[in-house]
Amino acid sequence: MHDTMPERPVREHTAHTMHSSREAGRPAGATPACADTPYSLTLRVRGDDGAQARARLEDLLGDMPGLRILTVCRHRGVVTLALQAPREELDPMLHRIMMNVMDAELGPIQPAALAAVH
């Protein structure tokens, strides 16, 4: 004799019902807290001059206070940089990088508070 689990009632989930329950406790006109959170990612590019790689990205992205050189590996010819930007700027920033820096390798995107500092 096999015991069977009781069936769970079927709940219809739609994007509207899922989002409306999330929005219920938020004051009208408020933005999610994550919208203000800066996000961080690493970027590896070919080269052996960190200053040159940074200048190349500054020319492409404009003045970015969150742009830092993390490592320069002359043996492999790779410069690793850290970028930090508000969430709303991530998409256009990544688009410019992917369209103009063909050899770029992007690391994971995460809230800056969680990013490890090397």
Judge whether residue 19 has pLDDT over 90: no
**Which residue, among 111, 113, 110, 104, has the nearest Cα to 81 in the 3D structure?**
104
Give the tens place of pLDDT for each residue, 92-113.
999 999 999 999 999 999 998 8
Is 56 within 8 Å of 50 (Cβ atoms)?
A: no
- According to the model, what pLDDT value does residue 39 have? 93
The whole-number average pLDDT for the span 64-92 is: 91
At residue 37 the predicted structure's pLDDT band, cuts being 50, 70 and 90, is confident
Dist. CA 43–CA 101, nearest whole Å:
10
CA distance 74 to 49: 8
What integer best gives the mean pLDDT of the chain?
Answer: 80
How far apart, in Å, do the first and last CA atoms of the chain sit? Answer: 59
- Give the separation between CA 76 and CA 7, rounded to whole angstroms: 58
Q: Does 116 score more than 80 pLDDT?
A: no
